[in-house]
Amino acid sequence: MEPTLKDGSIHFICRMCLLFRSPKKGEVVGIRLSGTKVILLKRIIAKEGEKVEFKNGKLFINGSEIDEPYIKVRSDWNYEGKLIEKGMVFVVGDNRAVPIESHDFGEVSEERIVGKLIW
């Protein structure tokens, strides 16, 4: 999530914030991938029914280029389109300077989201 968040820094996630509503596009959320100790912070960039793709480092949702002011270093990422399934979101970190192969991102069940980043 660098440069938005520094690696190794401490952050707070609000579980109650998403108790009565679904997470929104653009929000940074905590995602539990497995076990009880590891939570990744990622930004939601697409929701169910949307098609997400990267072309030469630019994000496209449903064929339209999306402005991402939080990205400081552009990449050369290319990712063929993916239609997001029901009950899922597409998440990615803000550090796009690293190669796409070294990045954890993709479609995740909304059930794995533990809360919204508040600090």
Q: What is the pLDDT of residues 93-103, one digit of tens each?
A: 888 888 888 88
CA 18 – CA 9 distance, rounded (Å): 23
The residue ranges of every structural domain in the chain are 13-117
Choose the CATH number for 13-117 among 3.40.640.10, 2.10.109.10, 2.40.40.20, 1.10.150.20. Answer: 2.10.109.10
DSSP structural state of residue 118: -
Question: What's the longest Cα–Cα distance across the chain?
Answer: 38
The 10s digit of each residue's pLDDT in 60-105 is 999 999 999 988 888 899 999 899 999 999 999 888 888 888 888 8
The 10s digit of each residue's pLDDT in 5-62 is 667 677 788 889 888 899 999 999 999 877 777 888 999 999 999 999 999 999 999 9
Find all residues with CB under 8 Å of 113, minimum gap 6, and list them.
Answer: 18, 23, 29, 30, 31, 89
Question: Is the whole model's pTM more than 0.75, yes or no?
Answer: yes
- Please check the confidence at residue 2 and state whether its pLDDT lies above 70: no
CA 19 – CA 17 distance, rounded (Å): 6
- For residue 96, the model assigns a pLDDT of 84
Backbone angles phi, psi at 71, to 5 degrees: -85, 120
